[in-house]
Amino acid sequence: MRTLPSKKQWVQFFSVLNQREKIAFLIFLGLFIGSGLFSTINFYLKQTEIAPSAGGRYLEGLVGSPRFINPIYAQGSDVDRDLVEIIFSSLVPDLTQDLKITEDGKAYEITLKNNVFWHDGTKLTADDVIFTIKTIQNPDYKSPLRANYLGIETQKINDYALSLKIKDPYSAFLERLEDLKVMPEHIWRDISPQNFLLSNYNLKPIGSGPYQFKDLKQNGANVIVSLTLAKFKNYFASASKKPYLSEISFRFYESENDLVNAAKKGEIDGFSVTSPGYFNLFDKGTFNELSLTLPRYFAVFFNSDKSKFLADIKIRQALNYAVNKNEIIQSALSGRGQIVDSPILPDVYSYELPTAVYEFNLEKAQALLEKTDLQKKDNQWVQVTKTVSTEFKSELKVGSKGAEVSNLQKCLNIDPTGYFGEQTKTAVINFQEKYLNQTTGTVGKNTRAKLNEVCSQPPKETPLSFSLVTVDDPILKEVAALIKKQWEAIGISVEITTYPVSQLTQDFIKPRNYEMLLFGEVLGEIPDPFPFWHSSQVKDPGLNLAKYENKKADILLETARVSLDETVRAKKYQDLQNILIADVPGVFLYRPDYVYFVNKKIEGGLEIKMIADPSERFADIENWYTNQKRSWK
């Protein structure tokens, strides 16, 4: 068998080579080794790919602090909803293996995944789902979600299957199931309703999501200042090595300004701010700015019951044409928003933008106002109303009686007794001396003519003006100020009043005590505009803020909400949109972006563009990663 040359043989080989041969040999040897190395590297690169790898830590900054990291109570807190999104799993699609809809949309049969575990190692079953729904439905637990889950009948089929039944088909019911974060029955079943809110599990929860509670830190005032979640190794997607990040931590700040300062110092990797003034303060080399779309919009809602002017469609149309929505978005939102022309948002309802819209056009606004009974005086539109005055027709003298005598006495500023006596005669003589140069003391033809001229009241001028109420919020205050400026530019006066949201809700929204309301409405992932525009919802607790009533619109809303066919719903909502635009129940303004900043070291799962709630920015967090490695294809 042949062997490689020994070291001694190599030395002898080199000794017989001249200088030129040695150089040539070394060059050849280098090329041979380099070629082999290149081929090896090229083969490796072609047969492998860069892929996420486990490890890494992410730190999010939030304003506020957690109170109830509990699916049935988290509704009222952004912080709580963010944490619930990561720690708990939704019934659909997270926990569902198969879903069948039967009985014309009134029955839902759900088969659960059988490889889902709670963070304490217990298996998740149908009992947990049924327990969660029944707990929400029970008024003793006082869940803010109760109204959304009333009327649902639950039945266990086996450990991993259950059926849900509702009385009538409801197109948005599937979203109810997507929103339902399931709670562990074995943890909560022995805790009384009175102690639910006091349980330690509200701050140290046990869920089934990709990350589990690890620890929290409090300051001297027992306020939570940070909370850390660790990767749940038994997560049902762990076979695909997800989630990737080892830890997710949250730091809690008292104000948005504190949050921004922390971001500038590099203390956090991700955060969101609402004040547009902060949007351009961050290093674009460190953070990616994500603009996420939410199914919500802001509008000025008209209440024609409180303003006779708003009953005139031409005035409502003029108000729309006079609003420069683009200026509002650029000035108040720093350009982070989209113009809205109706409450039926095209990308939410999956169809085209309306063709008939009220684009900013001052000439059209002026032309519409000119077609009303208004007049423009000193750059202010006014309604001139002639006052009905008493016309003196009879010859009045001493001894006359009746209503005409009383009106005469009122005109002459004496006690209106209704009897023409000496006092009245004297007043008539004084009037005649002042205006007629004759003193008969009798109200004859010439005196009556002058009385009708002098005693008639001037026409009443009522300015075209409105009162507008909104939330005491910096952005909405700026939006209101811009609208006021735009309307006053064409001669329409506006008085703005702002209130804390609780007072605005209690004193104005619930009793519908406003002429105009600048407010926002939040739709769902499967939006149902019924509560906002059906005539049955004009009174509290309905949300028909414009007190809008239209029989054709009612029929479209009723039909659409029971249809499970997306094509049918889209057609109904398209028709509804056209009716709403024609009826002009308000000025539909804009939908603001949800602006989210994430450190550029974070990759994966950030491609999402539209979310139903800000907490859903974490919906794909198991795919977030910071570490990478090459893996064989």
Task: Using the predicted structure, report yes or no on whether residue 25 has a pLDDT greater than 90.
Answer: no
Question: Does 395 fall in a domain?
Answer: no
Say if 15 falls within a structural domain: no
- pLDDT tens digits, one per residue of 53-83: 889 999 999 999 999 999 999 998 999 999 9
To the question of pTM greater than 0.75 for the whole model, the response is: yes
Residue 35 lies in a domain: no
CATH number at 561 reads 3.10.105.10
pLDDT of residue 483: 99
Q: Which pLDDT belongs to residue 15?
A: 67
C-alpha 513/C-alpha 491 separation (Å) is: 25
For residue 23, name the pLDDT band (cuts at 50, 70, 90).
confident
Total domains, the chain:
4
Q: CB 164: neighbour CB atoms within 10 A?
A: 21
pLDDT interval class at 389 (50, 70, 90): low
Is 29 in contact with 35 (CB distance < 8 Å)?
no
Q: Are residues 467 and 542 in the same domain?
A: yes
In a domain, 110, yes or no: yes
Task: Specify the pLDDT at position 244.
Answer: 93
pLDDT at 391: 81
| Domain contains 18 | no
Q: Report the share of the chain in percent with pLDDT over 90.
A: 73
End position of a domain, from candidates 395, 425, 457: 457
- Is residue 606 predicted with pLDDT exceeding 70? yes
Residue 12 located in a structural domain: no
The neighbour count for residue 355, using CB atoms within 10 Å, is: 8
| CA dihedral of 622, 628, 630, 633, whole degrees rounded to 10 | 20
- pLDDT over threshold 90, residue 284: no
Asked if the model's pLDDT at residue 26 lies above 90, the reply is no
Say if 27 falls within a structural domain.
no
Report percent pLDDT > 70 for the chain: 91
Write down the pLDDT at residue 282.
75
Which candidate, 545, 612, 21, places its Cα nearest to that of 347?
A: 612
Q: Kindly state whether residues 368 and 500 are assigned to the same domain.
A: yes
Residue 360 has pLDDT above 60, yes or no: yes
- At 470-516, the pLDDT tens digits run 999 999 999 999 999 999 999 999 999 999 999 999 999 999 999 99
pLDDT tens figures, 314-335: 999 999 999 999 999 999 999 9
**pLDDT band, very low/low/confident/very high, at 41 (cuts 50, 70, 90):** low
The answer to the question of residue 232 being in a domain is yes
Poorest-confidence range of 113-127, 148-162, 604-618? Answer: 604-618
Closest CA to 519 of 550, 466, 582, 475: 475
Rounded-to-5 percentages of helix, strand, coil across the chain: 40, 25, 40
Q: 149 with 255, same domain?
A: no
| Sign of the alpha-carbon dihedral angle for 31, 36, 39, 45 | negative
Q: Domain residues for 502?
A: 296-383+463-592
